[in-house]
Amino acid sequence: MDIKLIQFESHGDERGSLVSLEDHKNIPFTIKRAYYIFDTKEQVKRGFHAHKQLKQLAIVLKGSCRFLLDNGKEKIELLLDNPAQGLFIESFVWREMYDFSEDCVLLVLADSFYDESDYVRNYDEFLEMVNHDS
Ligand code: TYD
């Protein structure tokens, strides 16, 4: 599976670091929505869904967490722990997030407003959808 990890330019100096995110410059879509996950309790796993249309970019602003990405053929696990890196998640990719550090703040940028009808929350249904043509 082609994992798109975007490395952002970090403007660092003796005061610290700054990363800027801009539509169609370092973010590969127009940002319609941003949400963030924090205060995640120990042992919690989140996600467990795919999207039919939505494209998203995940950035761990603080701390760390693991992502499992699954396109129905291949699964990849990766650790996000760098606020200067963004994980691009295309549509029809099943994702699970876990191993959140206590201080983890996970920012997600999305190309559409929240729409429950865009979610695929049943894994078997997801597999049927992605393997339909193969
Ligand atoms: P949920 O889909 O369970 O989060 P995750 O997939 O990360 O585990 O979302 C939790 C709740 O938040 C659920 O009631 C839907 C709501 N929600 C919004 O209202 N707007 C949003 O943009 C998102 C992502 C979720």
* Domain boundary assignment for the chain: 22-130
Residue whose CA lies nearest to ligand 1 atom number 6? 47
pLDDT averaged over 10-residue windows placed end to end, the chain, 134 residues:
93 97 97 98 97 98 98 97 98 98 98 98 98 76
Query: Ligand 1 pocket check: which of 54, 108, 114, 117 to mutate, most ligand atoms within 8 Å of Cβ?
Result: 114
**Which residue in 43, 55, 116, 105 sits closest to 80, CA to CA?**
105
Q: Does domain 22-130 have CATH number 2.60.120.10?
A: yes
**How many angstroms is it from 66 CA to the middle of ligand 1?**
18
**What is the model's pTM?**
0.96
Tell me the C-alpha distance between 99 and 113, whole Å.
27
The residue whose CA has the least distance to atom 14 of ligand 1 is: 116
DSSP character at residue 122: -
Name residue 105's beta-bridge partners.
62
67 with 58: CB under 8 angstroms? yes
